[in-house]
Amino acid sequence: MTKEAIIERLKEKGLNITSPRLAIIDVLVEDGHFHPGASHIYREAKKRHRSLSLSTTYATIHEFIRHGIIKALEFDGKENRFEGNLDEHINLICERCGKIIDYKAPISVDRLDVAKTTGFVITSNRWEYYGYCRDCIKNLNSATPTGELRKRHS
């Protein structure tokens, strides 16, 4: 997703285009494929807009989610992560370094079937595989993982 497209979307929705938001958009466009967490977005966007606060970063992220620009991947015990790729895909999540890889694979679950048999109406989904990425398998014995991104202990 391009910077211009996001700005256009914000205008359509009647949101103000502010300097903090532009800084965050820049980070999302540049580092979006990393599936960055809030602290990464904050750190990088602060370089572009010095007075940026963490709470504004969170507020902006929420605003973007609410308007369908990004999607949140929520975790417990780790930082949440955010992605701009809204096409249906599987996220491959490395348990060692935290890297997240998009994997395109057609998932054929008929939503009508789900509704018919359970009465459940689907609004969104979450497809994830956990495991180890290529790099981490290579270095499984070596000392420290390369990634940032661990919340609490263990």
Our finding on whether 55 is near a second copy (CB under 8 A) is no
Tokens of 93: 């999540």
> Considering the rule CB under 7 A, would residue 104 count as an interface residue with DNA?
no
Q: How many CB atoms lie within 10 A of CB 11?
A: 11
109 contributes a contact to a second copy by CB under 8 A:
yes
12 vs 16: CA distance, rounded Å: 10
Instruction: Of 121, 124, 68, 129, give the one whose Cα is nearest residue 94.
Output: 129
Token digits for 129?
């595989």
Of 35, 56, 64, 93, the one binding DNA (CB under 7 A) is: 56
Residue 120 binding a second copy, by CB under 8 A: yes
* Under rule CB under 7 A, residue 91 binds DNA: no
Interface ranges with DNA (CB under 7 A): 15-21, 37-39, 49, 51-56, 58-60, 62-63, 76-77, 79-80, 151-154
